[in-house]
Amino acid sequence: MKKLTNLMAATALTAAGALPAVAETWDMPMAYSASNFHSATGAEFAQCVTTGTGGEIEIVTHPSGSLFKGADIKRAIQTGQAPIGERLLSGHQNENALFGFDSIPFLATSFDDSDKLWKAAKPSIEKLLAEQNLTLLYAVPWPPQGLYFKNAVESVADMKGIKFRSYNNATSRLAELTGMLPVTIEAAEISQAFATGVAESMVSSGSTGYDRKVWESLGFFYEVDAWLPRNYVMVNSEVWADTADAHKNVIKGCAELAEYAGNWRAKEYTGFTLQGLRDGGMTVGPASDQMVGELKEIGVTMTNEWLEAAGDEGKAIVDAFKASQ
């Protein structure tokens, strides 16, 4: 990983040249803690751009929802309140169903399949973002999503009435179909929500649980590999249009390296964080056959609902993904 960081810095220095001496500061809101691998990758991207532009564009990251809460970041970039930022787009599926393509349960359950699904969806997502005054720079997947519970769960029936952390349409619907009670909680509020009993369960990666030390409140993590959602780093399109071509080239180069580094981290972090949950005292392992079977049935229902909502464009994404397998 150190080599990747050094490469980002070297690329930035190589790209730097005789650029206009107009210094700008781009504040970059991020929803997750500074220790999270997405935030670490974002910080390296920011430094790469700052170095590569000779300090003429200085990107300053603001993790843990400290500048804008996660749900507000996309809107802040769209309206120019922040020139750049990172957001989990599946949190905006209520705006357009296409944003939820990466949270369809049991469609893409591995890193390889996640990459194929992203290639199928990327043109549509970039077009949709462009219509909303947003330009995509890079995207990085989370590790496969598993289920966290306070107590052991063997079947969907055992989930009934449990307070479940929700962060997008897919998680809310999952809660409804399993009989759990959805509670909207931002990433920065997870630890407190579990500690105070506001929530008792969630679907997330080992990374989120590890960063938030959820073993202090929860006891079980089931590896169901439900989906691999992505975080997206976007820039306001008007800000991008006003950016010098030389600076754009630096930013694009840094973004490519950040995407590579982020993907590498996501894969390496998967095993590390699951072991971290075990070391914290949690029981980590696969779900029962019964629970997996019941969850996959729910996944079929949610897939059909998404396809209906996303229309022909959504069907084209799923068809292209399946054809690539």
The full set of domain ranges for the chain reads: 2-143+229-271, 146-226+282-324
**CA 161: distance to chain centroid?**
27
Task: Tally the residues of the chain.
Answer: 325
The pLDDT score that the predictor gives to residue 6 is: 56
The pLDDT score that the predictor gives to residue 246 is: 97
Give the alpha-carbon dihedral of 256, 71, 163, 193, to 10 degrees: 90
Asked if domains 2-143+229-271 and 146-226+282-324 share a fold, the reply is: yes
> What class is the 2-143+229-271 domain?
alpha beta
The pLDDT score that the predictor gives to residue 5 is: 54
Sign of the CA dihedral 82, 93, 265, 283? positive
Structure token pair of residue 7: 């490469």
**Would you give per-residue pLDDT tens digits along the chain (325 residues)?**
555 555 555 555 554 444 445 689 999 999 999 999 999 999 999 999 999 999 999 999 999 999 999 999 999 999 999 999 999 999 999 999 999 999 999 999 999 999 999 999 999 999 999 999 999 999 999 999 999 999 999 999 999 999 999 999 999 999 999 999 999 999 889 999 999 999 999 999 999 999 999 999 999 999 999 999 999 999 999 999 999 999 999 999 999 999 999 999 999 989 999 999 999 999 999 999 999 999 999 999 999 999 999 999 999 999 999 999 8
Question: From CA 63, how far away is CA 86, in angstroms rounded?
Answer: 10
Superfamily, domain 146-226+282-324: Bacterial extracellular solute-binding protein, family 7 (3.40.190.170)
Residue appearing with tokens 């980590």: 284
Residue pair 149/218 in contact by the 8 Å Cβ criterion: yes
The pLDDT score that the predictor gives to residue 31 is: 96
Closest to 244 (Cα-Cα) out of 24, 46, 72, 70? 24
Structure token pair of residue 140: 């990085």
